[in-house]
Amino acid sequence: MTEKQLLKGSVALAQGAIDAGCRYYFGYPITPQNDIPEYLSAALPAVGGVFIQAESELASINMVLGAAASGKMAMTSSSGPGISLMQEGLSYLAGSELPAVVVNITRSGPGLGGIAPTQGDYMQATRGGGHGDYRLIVLAPNSAQEMYDLAGEAFRLAFKYRNPAMILGDAILGQMKEPVMLREALSPPQNSPWALSGAKDRQPRLVKSLYLKDGEMTVHNLKLLDKYKALQEKEVKVEIDCPTRCDLIVVAFGSCSRIARTAVDRACLQGLKVGLVRPISLFPFPEKAVREEAQKAGRVLVVEMNTGQMLEDVKLACNGNSEVYFKSYPGGAVPTPEEIEKEIEVIVGKGGLRHVNSS
Amino acid sequence: MEYSVVMSGFGGQGVLMMGELLAHCGMKAGLNVTWMPSYGVEMRGGAANCTVVLSENQIGAPITGTPKAVIAMSEPALDKFGSRLPENGLLMINSSLVCKDNSTYGQNGIKTVFIPTRELAEESGNEKMANLAMLGAFLAQTGVLELERVKKEVRSFLPPHKSNLAEGIEKALLKGKEYIDSL
């Protein structure tokens, strides 16, 4: 495939999963992610894959767990309330060290909420809504191309680290169409050394998350911790675009970062010195990049379509060494570039004076 | 140079399709494009809109508070989006359906153009192509993309089972262009 195609983000993601080698999808409908199962219901059988509309989200995630335990590339997708129902399964996947990809095209909440774009599930995604001491790998695309690319990357990381990965999108990313360049399709994975494939002529293998013997669970938790540390060391993904001398950095992820991008560009055209830091991996969070850029600029503006969730990670990264401002767009409110630009002007305006005084 | 247009109307008037064709052709012309539709509850309410952005550079926001142009295929759409135009914006109104007094619009240097889309579509041979007559007029008015470029890509845009519509679409696009040329 050498030509770009105009694809909806949800379709790009679904095709990205197939091209990464995924052949198993289990899901239950919910707006605004129905384009994913709709597409896969036709596209997966066409490549010899399996598509099952399960009876519930609980069934979906446990079918994913079963397929993953047998070494297959499996995924599910849902939105807010459905992802909440899947949390037990996610915890079991993490505890059992099984690779799988779960897509959350979010809807606003709490409760049944609304279907407008939101980033209110950041905490649930990065902290784990399920029980126990675990982390998901969390990737946040901001274009149809990244919906496609990060679907494959999520599977790669999930299999490399034997850990469930989540793609966190929203209705803007799911519904928007953009040109997408498809890559060469990969074959499904073969014979993972841990997969339950039938023990004929070999020693049986065990996939489990129950550890009752004295000290056993601690050992398991520390083993998981090593994985999370390795992820933090090796797999951070972040886009940094900050001028050498910068008076403010804006931190935003996902669809919100696209709007912030335009606002920052316009502010720079006016002569303001503003940069943009966009976390692409939400776990592992790009703590170092945020800390360093924030320290250089002295001031950070976090913009999120929620009431302040990634804000906590930014504050932890800054550790009190930078001024952190926050602009909130909760419950389906989507900022315009003009609104964010105005916010930038207000903050840099304040500090502009400080620069004059100090020089 | 970045161009953003909001296309709006009733569900069923083909405003999403009109925007998608523009985005598709922009992509084929080597531009960066985004097509952002309204969805869900807005469709059930009978209104539809999409925002198309075309640019030689990377596109940030796929939405905008200040579009360069607004196409209003219905009166509610005109009421909702017409007021978002900044100074010197372009407002294109479907005069086959919208009966507002000309004088209300055209303030702040906003250029208002009335297009009798249904009549033009009828003349082209298919009254269902009103949206494409509007798109043809929009292309002629703005020069965002060459009409010839769009006509050339109609066939790559249509799914195979709808390829029989290509000729009618091309004719309607041309009618819209000719109308602008005649003004």
pLDDT of A90-138, one tens digit each?
999 999 999 999 999 999 999 999 999 999 999 999 998 899 999 999 9
CB within 8 Å: A258 and B62:
yes
Give domain status of residue A197, yes or no: no
Minimum CA–CA partner of A177 in chain B: B35
Closest chain B residue to the Cα of A30, Cα to Cα: B40
pLDDT band at B40 (very low <50, low <70, confident <90, very high): low
What percent of chain A is helix, strand and coil (3-state, nearest 5)? Answer: 45, 20, 40
- Whether A253 and A311 map to the same domain: the answer is yes
pLDDT 10s digits, A196-215: 999 999 999 999 999 999 99
- What distance in Å separates the CA atoms of residue A275 and residue A193, rounded to the nearest whole number? 45
A115 touches chain B (CB under 8 A): yes
Nearest C-alpha in A relative to B66? A338
Instruction: Tell me whether residue A179 is in a domain.
Output: yes
- What SS3 state is found at A158? helix
- With an 8 Å Cβ cutoff, the interface of chain B facing chain A consists of 20, 23-24, 27, 32-37, 39-41, 59-66
- Set of chain B residues whose Cβ sits within 8 Å of the Cβ of A336: 61, 63-66
For this complex, say whether ipTM is above 0.90: yes
pLDDT, tens only, A38-67: 999 999 999 999 999 999 999 999 999 999
CATH code assigned at A220:
3.40.50.970
Q: Is A261 on the interface with B (CB under 8 A)?
A: yes
**Cα distance from B89 to chain A (closest Cα, Å)?**
16
> Best of B31, B34, B43, B64 to disrupt the A interface by mutation (most A CBs within 10 Å)?
B34
Interchain contact A177–B (C-beta under 8 A): yes
Query: Could you tell me how many residues make up chain A?
Result: 359
Are both A217 and A275 inside the same structural domain?
no
- Do residues A229 and A244 both lie within one domain? no
**A159–chain B nearest CA distance, Å:** 32
The verdict on A124 and A14 lying in the same domain is: yes
Establish if A199 belongs to a structural domain: no
Q: Both A10 and A99 in a single domain?
A: yes
Provide mean pLDDT across the span A214-243.
Answer: 97
A215 and A255 assigned to the same domain: no
Cα–Cα distances (Å) from A152 to A12, A181, A186, in that order, read 11, 13, 9
Q: Is residue A203 part of a domain?
A: no
Residue by residue, DSSP assigns A277-324 as EEESEEES--HHHHHHHHHHHSEEEEEESSSSSHHHHHHHHHTTSSEE
The string of DSSP codes covering B2-65 is: EEEEEEEEETTS-HHHHHHHHHHHHHHTT-EEEEEE--THHHHTTEEEEEEEEESSPP--SS-S
Q: How far away is chain B from the Cα of A338, in angstroms, using its nearest Cα?
A: 7
Best of B39, B58, B84, B153 to disrupt the A interface (most A CBs within 10 Å) is B39
The answer to whether residues A142 and A179 belong to one domain is yes
Residues A151 and A257 in one domain: no
Let me know whether A165 and A179 are in one domain. Answer: yes
Confidence of residue B43 (pLDDT cuts 50, 70, 90): low
**Structural domain containing residue A58:** 5-188+209-234
* A336 with B35: Cβ contact below 8 A: no
Beta bridge partners of B55: B2, B32
A238 contacts A280 by C-beta, under 8 angstroms:
yes
CATH of the domain at A265: 3.40.50.920
Average pLDDT in the B167-177 region? 97
Count of structural domains within chain A: 2
**pLDDT at A57 (0 to 100):** 98
In chain B the domains, ranked by start, together with CATH numbers, are 2-182 (3.40.920.10)
Same domain flag for A168 and A275? no
Question: Which residue among A234, A250, A271 closes a domain?
Answer: A234
Same domain, A305 and A340: yes
Instruction: Specify if A202 maps to a domain.
Output: no
Contact A259/B at CB under 8 A = yes
The reply to whether A287 falls in a domain is: yes
| Beta carbons of A177 and B35 less than 8 Å apart | yes
Determine the residue among B24, B35, B58, B156 to mutate to test chain A binding: the one whose Cβ has the most chain A Cβ atoms within 10 Å: B35
A252 shares a domain with A214: no
Q: A66 to chain B, minimum CA–CA distance in Å?
A: 33
| H or E, element range at A8 | strand A5-8
pLDDT band for position B100 (50/70/90)? confident
Q: How close, in Å, is residue B37 to chain A by CA atoms?
A: 7
A325 domain residue, yes or no: yes
Is A200 domain-assigned?
Answer: no
For residue B2, the chain A residue with the least C-alpha distance is A262
In angstroms, the separation between the Cα of residue B119 and the nearest Cα of chain A is 31
* CB-CB under 8 Å, B63 with A6: no
Average pLDDT over residues B18-47: 86
Count A/B contacts: CB-CB distance under 8 Å: 68
